[in-house]
Amino acid sequence: MNVYIENIAAHEGQEVTIRGWLHNRRSSGKIHFLTVRDGTGFIQAVMSKAGVSPETFQQADHLSQETSLVLTGTARADSRAPGGFELDVKSLEVVAPAHEYPLTPKEHGVDYLMDRRHLWIRTERQHAVLRVRHEVVNAIRDFFNSRGFILADTPIFTPSACEGTTTLFPVQYFDDTTAYLTQSGQLYNEANAMALGRVYCFGPTFRAEKSKTRRHLTEFWMVEPEMAYATLDDVMTLGEELVSYVVGRALERRARELNVLQRDTAKLERVRPPFPRVSYDEAARILKDKGLPFEWGGDLGGTDETVLSEQFDRPVAVYGYPSAIKAFYMKPDPNRPDVSLSVDVLAPEGYGEIIGGGQRIDDYDLLLQRIKEHNLPQEAFEWYLDLRRYGSVPHAGFGMGVERVVSWICGLEHVRETIPYPRMLYRLYP
RNA sequence: UCCUCAGUAGCUCAAUGGCAGAGCAUCCGGCUGUUAACCGGAGGGUUGUAGGUUCGAGUCCUACCUGAGGAGCCA
């Protein structure tokens, strides 16, 4: 019977067949240990000279790493095995050989691994990261779907830049039109929210900044909820509940993977609502007290974010950024127009901003004024202004970057491991 | 775009300005409980590129190329 390794415990004592690849091999004169993976997990298969034909034993002596093979044998619980189970091999069928596999069991450099990303993802560590990513994505969908949000995806080709063209990837759109890859679905999200109430979009996002840090990809996945009749406060609550739910799901269903990654899960167990909420003013004061050269009016730098998040044991929401450093559509605080009804959520342990959002301008005249102030082409935003012409309501939303969340949950050094094929400044292959 | 660091065997790295080496991988041999197994043997090099200094350069100098980390910018 064909069995996946992750289900092996249900077949103890039975004869099962595992179809996979050879991950590693250790041999003695009369016994072979074959570590096999099948995508669902890893298991050590034991082949003793007495248990198989001489031809099979000889064949196993020459198997190279990543040879695809089919093994049949008896599943047996064994405390010496990392997964708790071993396979006593009765027969072996080689599907296809793998000569001179480039990734050895020893260390490799980042550049070498990135050039072979399509093979790197076969390792146990990358398996674990991608499985956590899968859980995070599913948890996000489940969270919104169970709360009445409608998935309404926004276009990836967009006609013009909503926040300036320098950070967008231009693409030729048929003969003589330039389109841009989206950097946010938010403007369309607002229209969708006016139609459907509570919506979210979830897809790839593109940023053409020549940024070179461990937190940056040029192509990443972002989930963006948007709610009609909602305020900054609603968004902060939604954000902390979303983050807490996603972390909880990873802890609950991907404990094995987090263990492979040697993640200190105690730090994740603390991620529960409510999150501390700190105004930009307070944040500026904290940073000054810590001796950082921070001036009111500027954006938080990487070091600022790290120092700030270290003051708390869970993610922290920083709200009320100066209007001048936020997007043109961010609603000013009615009591204090120099700050906006905006919020960023900073992950702990120096992982930085995972959520950015806030309440949008719902007043037609103010929005038009902002568009002009930012020298944006009004005609391109007529549809967006329509949302304020026809039954405008207070509304708010945010965007959450999937890779940064996965990177934080997994405790990784760099977001590039959180997506199968990362796109970066100098990385377009494979 | 700027700053810092790195580039030597297929991979990861050593080598005081003086014979270019080790581990892993590959191939051969040994070993019945290995956990990145271990033990013995073999093959494997235009030291990123181009110049320069020197009796002599992997090592020092200059430029360039490639990559990494960070800054700015961002999720």
Total residues found in chain A within this entry: 430
Asked if A191 and A74 sit in the same domain, the reply is no
Asked if A265 and A148 sit in the same domain, the reply is yes
In a domain, A288, yes or no: yes
A303 CA to B69 C1' distance (Å): 15
Asked if A92 and A184 sit in the same domain, the reply is no
pLDDT at A164: 53
Domain harbouring A405, CATH code = 3.30.930.10
pLDDT at A22: 92
Tell me the average confidence (pLDDT) per consecutive run of 10 residues in chain A, 430 residues long: 92 94 87 91 90 87 88 89 85 87 80 87 91 96 97 90 66 86 92 97 90 88 96 96 97 92 92 94 89 83 87 93 90 94 92 93 95 87 95 96 95 91 85
CA closest to C1' of B69 belongs to A213
Asked if A133 and A184 sit in the same domain, the reply is yes
Domain harbouring A59, CATH code = 2.40.50.140
Task: Answer with the one of A96, A131, A164 that is the final residue of a domain.
Answer: A96
* Residue A299 DSSP class: P
Asked if A84 and A180 sit in the same domain, the reply is no
Asked if A246 and A277 sit in the same domain, the reply is yes
Place of tokens 């990487």: A302
Query: Which residue(s) pair with A346 in the sheet?
Result: A316, A353
Q: Domain containing A67: what range?
A: 5-96
Q: What DSSP string runs through A232-280? A: HHHHHHHHHHHHHHHHHHHHHH-HHHHHHTT--THHHHT--SPPPEEEH
pLDDT at A246: 97
Task: Answer with the one of A63, A96, A129 that is the final residue of a domain.
Answer: A96
| End-to-end Cα, chain A, rounded Å | 36
Tell me how far apart the alpha carbons of residues A156 and A175 are, in angstroms, rounded to a whole number: 19
Asked if A85 and A197 sit in the same domain, the reply is no
Q: Where are the alpha helices (DSSP H) in A270-314?
A: 280-289, 302-309
Question: Which nucleotide's C1' atom has the smallest distance to the CA of A167?
Answer: B73
In a domain, A107, yes or no: no
A116 CA to B8 C1' distance (Å): 22
In a domain, A374, yes or no: yes
Total of domains in chain A: 2
CA closest to C1' of B75 belongs to A401
Q: Which nucleotides of B are covered by protein (CB under 7 A)?
A: 1-2, 10-13, 23-28, 30-38, 66-75
In a domain, A426, yes or no: no
A222 CA to B4 C1' distance (Å): 32
**A368 touches A341 (CB < 8 A):** no
Asked if A121 and A222 sit in the same domain, the reply is yes
Asked if A88 and A128 sit in the same domain, the reply is no
In a domain, A425, yes or no: no
Asked if A238 and A292 sit in the same domain, the reply is yes
Question: Which nucleotide's C1' atom has the smallest distance to the CA of A302?
Answer: B71
* Residue A145 DSSP class: H
Asked if A178 and A43 sit in the same domain, the reply is no
A76 CA to B33 C1' distance (Å): 14
Asked if A89 and A161 sit in the same domain, the reply is no
